[in-house]
């Protein structure tokens, strides 16, 4: 209330009265109420004053009759700016007829004389306030209309049947109709809407009226100016009469902007090629389709060779231009008609656009391929397209690309696997000397995936008895006779082929499988040795590898005893191979386990000697019987004098401690001769035999010395 009080009190009042005393008295009275008033002696003059001083209220002296009101109204009629100004007629007290005549003549309200200040104040106040409210409302409406015009939005309402539409000023122009006021019939309205959208709009309007549901809908409108526009309708049934009220907005620009943004967000800013996001979507869609229709598709990932060097030498701006150049060549190459690849049955392979995954990595999707060679042909063309050097800023740059290809579904049945494997194939291409392409093969699987898959497969292979034990002979250096064999695990997987124990033993260790597998090897090898004996094969020492995990397990001694008991094999025939890192544990405990093992009658050898923390003190402190010189030292004899020196030192050290020395990985006569000359006791290596199946061992052992 207070706010309104303050506001009305600043109101301006114009008095029109011929009676001078009346004018003066009224003005004084109003001023006492805190209002400003200007007085004129007739209507015409009063309004001339109003032009300079627009009033909030006109007070006219109608004591003599309603003519004064009528005269004022007539003068007001010529001044549209004042048309809304309220008129208060002063009438004689107790004359109801005079009051109603004044109202009929156009007065907004009447006030009796003699004045009662409170009555006068209340009338003046209420008229000024409502006049101001009306003015404000008018201004709001105008503002709203201009906002609606600018935003190309209009409010509308339709009767419950949807047969007639009333709209704000913009409504008709939005529909491409002339702006004349008046309702729009349903027929006319629908005739403006695009033929294909008409039915939907009609249905939505109808449903909205029937079910009382709001709706939102985009429709195109028939181009009047040749440019199709998109209008968004939002409607809601408001009120009990079922009228639908809503807004209509021209969203053409927004839609175009959205489309533009969508396009830009799918493009790589530097090269204009499809970007990673769009490519990933496309790939996902293509994989889905291929899966559904049981088709094949190929994914090609290309990485530029030595691009980093170009960047480092010439700077990033130059590097960017090289990338643009490559993109252009790839793109052109794919657009050339002769690149459309035909399969033998003349089916066309669809080459999609090249995309840039980021950095110097490009990718290409080939759908509908019948054979992987189709992808190879495309890769070949892309490589060929880079043959010509780039001429940039007076520099000649030659850039190649290494490419990896994966084929769905053989190499991966989802987006991730395909991309990962294409990457692995691309890396292989790099290591094959760059500027070439490679197809993905199972052997290229990235470490983590491969490891994960191998773990699962190994578990199953072990349960299904698919592991095998091979035996590699160890030969006496002087006599050339077999003295023993080392049991070595073998595993061949249908998908991955032969997998080296160097790869799967660590996996078994990580997966907690090494103990059961290790025990199985021990048991299998011991049964084998027993079987050889029964077949009449001369006794051979049987070396079995024991993983550090198995060694620390605590049940090894027990398991060993059990196996020896079950097989009845002479414990003296068995040698356990442990590695140096086993000895790194708690010394007393390690010695205690070793002693318990030795108490069963088996011997202990230190495998891969020289690769760990090889120290003479180990050999002295721990109860071991033999040392196996690691293959890595033997391999480079006689090329590497250091390896020769180490090997010679290990031999003499072991000899001094009266340990048997076995050299692993002996492949050449020179190596054997070197080892023999240094006093090595035994050799194990391809020079004599690789690890072989048990039946071969029996053959060889029966006919010893073999050479
Ligand atoms: P290791 O115990 O040092 O076995 C010797 C490795 O050298 C074997 O590899 C053998 O095939 C290889 N080798 C022998 N002579 C030559 C040669 O002249 N040239 C070349 N290039 N290599 C030769 P393999 O069978 O691949 O086994 C690798 C490693 O896997 C073994 O090294 C051993 O540490 C582990 N391993 C194998 N079987 C078992 C097992 O049953 N239990 C445990 N815990 N580990 C095992
Ligand atoms: Mg070994
Ligand atoms: Mg070894």
How high is the pLDDT of residue 581?
77
Ligand 1 touching residue 35 (CB < 6 A):
no
Ligand 1 touching residue 686 (CB < 6 A):
yes
Q: CA-based Rg of the chain, rounded to a whole angstrom?
A: 50
Relative to the CA of 687, which ligand 1 atom is closest? 18
Query: At residue 272, does pLDDT exceed 70?
Result: yes
15 with 141, same domain: the answer is: yes
615 with 488, same domain: the answer is: yes
610-622: per-residue pLDDT in tens?
Answer: 876 656 677 788 8
Domain span at residue 63 reads: 6-145
Percent of the chain predicted with pLDDT > 70: 94
Closest residue by Cα to atom 3, ligand 1, is 608
Ligand 1 touching residue 73 (CB < 6 A):
no
Ligand 1 touching residue 237 (CB < 6 A):
no
Q: Which ligand is nearest to the CA of 506?
A: 1
34 with 170, same domain: the answer is: no
- Which tokens in the block code for residue 208? 């909205």
DSSP 42: S
- Which tokens in the block code for residue 684? 């194990």
Ligand 1 touching residue 349 (CB < 6 A):
no
Instruction: Tell me if 417 is assigned to some domain.
Output: yes
Distance 488 CA to ligand 1 centre (A): 6
111 with 11, same domain: the answer is: yes
How high is the pLDDT of residue 404?
95
Ligand 1 touching residue 607 (CB < 6 A):
yes
473 with 594, same domain: the answer is: yes
How high is the pLDDT of residue 439?
94
How high is the pLDDT of residue 445?
75
CA distance 559 to 74: 123
How high is the pLDDT of residue 704?
66
pLDDT band at residue 7 using 50, 70 and 90 as cut-offs = low
Ligand 1 touching residue 643 (CB < 6 A):
no
Better-scored residue on pLDDT, 312 or 585: 312
Query: At residue 264, does pLDDT exceed 80?
Result: no
287 with 176, same domain: the answer is: no
Pick from 126-135, 178-187, 253-262, 611-620: least confident? 611-620
Instruction: Give yes or no for a cis peptide into 705 (omega within 30° of 0).
Output: yes
Residues 602 and 571: beta-carbon distance below 8 Å? yes
Task: Provide mean pLDDT across the span 209-237.
Answer: 85
Task: Provide mean pLDDT across the span 283-299.
Answer: 91
141 with 156, same domain: the answer is: no
Distance 526 CA to ligand 1 centre (A): 18
Beta bridge partners of 661: 627
Highest mean pLDDT among 50-54, 314-318, 600-604: 600-604
**CA atoms within 13 A of residue 277's CA, in its CB half-sphere:** 8
Single out the residue in 440, 458, 474 at which a domain terminates: 440
Indicate the number of domains in the chain.
4
Ligand 1 touching residue 509 (CB < 6 A):
no
Pick from 146-150, 491-495, 523-527, 651-655: least confident? 146-150
CA distance 299 to 223: 44
Better-scored residue on pLDDT, 240 or 310: 310
Single out the residue in 145, 180, 200 at which a domain terminates: 145
Single out the residue in 222, 250, 278 at which a domain terminates: 250
687 with 560, same domain: the answer is: yes
Residue 694 CB neighbours (<10 A): 22
Distance 602 CA to ligand 3 centre (A): 19
Pick from 32-36, 443-447, 450-454, 476-480: least confident? 443-447
DSSP code string of 608-631: EETSSS--HHHHHHS---EEEE-H
Burial class (CB in 10 A: 0-12, 13-18, 19+), 291: middle
What is the value of pTM for the model shown? 0.50
CATH number of the domain enclosing 193: 3.30.450.20
Better-scored residue on pLDDT, 22 or 613: 22
Instruction: Tell me if 276 is assigned to some domain.
Output: yes
239 with 203, same domain: the answer is: yes
Better-scored residue on pLDDT, 158 or 83: 158
**Cβ contacts of 172 within 8 Å, gap of 6 or more:** 178, 179, 180, 184
Task: Provide mean pLDDT across the span 510-524.
Answer: 94
Better-scored residue on pLDDT, 197 or 258: 197
Cα dist from 535 to 302, 529, 699, whole Å = 59, 10, 11
Residue whose CB lies within 8 A of the most ligand 1 atoms, among 505, 514, 606, for a mutation test: 505
CATH number of the domain enclosing 115: 3.40.50.2300
How high is the pLDDT of residue 104?
94
507 with 586, same domain: the answer is: yes
How high is the pLDDT of residue 510?
83
Instruction: Tell me if 621 is assigned to some domain.
Output: yes
CA distance 679 to 635: 18
Closest C-alpha among 662, 668, 660 to residue 688: 668
Query: At residue 341, does pLDDT exceed 70?
Result: no
648 with 560, same domain: the answer is: yes
Better-scored residue on pLDDT, 473 or 152: 473
Residue whose CB lies within 8 A of the most ligand 1 atoms, among 471, 472, 488, for a mutation test: 488
Better-scored residue on pLDDT, 324 or 132: 324
**CA atoms within 13 A of residue 236's CA, in its CB half-sphere:** 4
456 phi/psi in degrees, rounded to 5: -65, -45
Closest residue by Cα to atom 24, ligand 1, is 501
N- to C-terminal Cα separation, the chain: 121
Ligand 1 touching residue 665 (CB < 6 A):
yes
Ligand 1 touching residue 691 (CB < 6 A):
yes
What are the E-state strand segments in 62-137? 87-92, 109-113
Ligand 1 touching residue 502 (CB < 6 A):
yes
403-451: per-residue pLDDT in tens?
Answer: 999 999 999 889 999 998 999 899 888 877 788 999 998 877 777 678 8
CA distance 420 to 98: 98
3-state SS class at 62: coil
Query: At residue 330, does pLDDT exceed 70?
Result: yes
What are the E-state strand segments in 130-212? 153-158, 164-167, 184-185
Give the CA angle between residues 216, 222, 226 to the nearest 5°.
130
Relative to the CA of 521, which ligand 1 atom is closest? 41
Ligand 1 touching residue 608 (CB < 6 A):
yes
Average pLDDT taken over every residue of the chain: 87
């Amino acid at each position: 209330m207070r706010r309104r009080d303050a506001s009305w009190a600043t109101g301006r009042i114009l008095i029109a009265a011929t009676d001078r005393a009346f004018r003066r008295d009224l003005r004084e009275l109003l001023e006492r109420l805190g209002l400003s008033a200007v007085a004129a002696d007739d209507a015409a003059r009063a309004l001339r004053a109003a032009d300079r001083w627009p009033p909030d209220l006109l007070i006219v002296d109608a004591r003599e009759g309603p003519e004064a009101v009528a005269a004022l109204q007539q003068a007001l009629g010529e001044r549209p700016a004042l048309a809304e100004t309220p008129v208060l007629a002063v009438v004689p007290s107790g004359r109801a007829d005079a009051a109603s005549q004044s109202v009929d003549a156009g007065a907004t309200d009447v006030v009796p004389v003699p004045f009662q200040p409170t009555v006068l104040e209340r009338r003046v106040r209420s008229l000024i306030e409502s006049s101001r409210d009306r003015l404000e409302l008018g201004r709001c409406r105008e503002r709203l209309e201009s906002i609606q015009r600018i935003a190309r939005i209009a409010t509308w309402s339709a009767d419950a049947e949807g047969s007639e539409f009333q709209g704000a000023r913009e409504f008709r122009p939005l529909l491409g109709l002339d702006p004349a006021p008046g309702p729009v019939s349903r027929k006319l309205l629908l005739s403006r809407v695009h033929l294909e959208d008409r039915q939907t709009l009609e249905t939505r309007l109808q449903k909205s009226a029937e079910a009382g549901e709001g709706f939102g809908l985009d429709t195109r409108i028939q181009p009047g100016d040749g440019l199709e526009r998109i209008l968004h309708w939002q409607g809601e049934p408001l009120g009990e009469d079922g009228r639908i009220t809503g807004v209509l907005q021209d969203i053409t620009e927004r839609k175009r902007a959205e489309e533009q943004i969508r396009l830009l967000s799918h493009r790589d800013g530097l090269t204009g090629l499809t970007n990673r996001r769009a490519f990933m979507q496309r790939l996902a869609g293509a994989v889905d389709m291929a899966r559904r229709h049981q088709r094949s598709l190929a994914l090609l990932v290309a990485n530029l060779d030595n691009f980093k060097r170009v960047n480092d030498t010439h700077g990033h701006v130059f590097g960017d231009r090289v990338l643009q150049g490559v993109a252009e060549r790839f793109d052109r190459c794919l657009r050339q008609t002769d690149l459309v690849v035909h399969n033998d049955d003349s089916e066309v392979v669809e080459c999609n656009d090249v995309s840039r995954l980021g950095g110097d990595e490009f990718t290409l999707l080939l759908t509908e391929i019948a054979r992987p060679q189709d992808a190879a042909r495309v890769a070949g063309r892309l490589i060929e397209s880079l043959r010509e050097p780039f001429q940039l800023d007076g520099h000649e740059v030659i850039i190649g690309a290494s490419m990896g290809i994966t084929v769905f579904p053989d190499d991966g049945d989802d987006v991730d696997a395909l991309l990962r494997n294409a990457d692995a194939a691309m890396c292989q291409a790099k290591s094959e000397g760059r500027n070439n392409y490679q197809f993905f093969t199972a052997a290229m699987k990235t470490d983590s995936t491969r490891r994960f898959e191998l773990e699962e497969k190994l578990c199953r292979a072990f349960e299904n008895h698919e592991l095998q034990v091979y035996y590699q002979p160890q030969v006496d250096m002087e006599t050339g006779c077999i003295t023993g064999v080392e049991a070595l695990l073998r595993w061949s997987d249908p998908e991955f082929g032969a997998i080296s124990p160097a790869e799967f033993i660590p996996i078994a260790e990580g997966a907690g499988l090494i103990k059961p597998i290790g025990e199985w090897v021990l048991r299998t090898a011991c049964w084998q040795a027993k079987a050889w004996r029964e077949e009449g094969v001369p006794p051979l020492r049987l070396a079995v590898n024991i993983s550090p995990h198995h060694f620390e397990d605590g049940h090894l001694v027990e398991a060993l005893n059990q196996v020896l008991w079950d097989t009845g094999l002479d414990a003296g025939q068995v040698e356990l191979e442990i590695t140096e890192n086993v000895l790194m544990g708690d010394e007393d405990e390690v010695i205690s386990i070793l002693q318990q093992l030795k108490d069963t009658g088996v011997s202990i050898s230190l495998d891969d000697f020289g690769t760990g923390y090889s120290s003479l003190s180990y050999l002295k402190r721990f109860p071991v019987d033999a040392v196996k010189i690691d293959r890595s030292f033997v391999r480079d004899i006689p090329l590497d004098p250091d390896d020769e020196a180490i090997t010679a030192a290990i031999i003499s050290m072991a000899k001094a401690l009266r340990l048997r020395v076995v050299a692993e990985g002996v492949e050449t006569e020179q190596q054997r001769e070197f080892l023999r000359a240094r006093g090595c006791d035994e050799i194990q290596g391809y020079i004599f035999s690789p690890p072989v199946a048990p039946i071969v061992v029996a053959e060889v052992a029966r006919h010893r010395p073999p050479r």
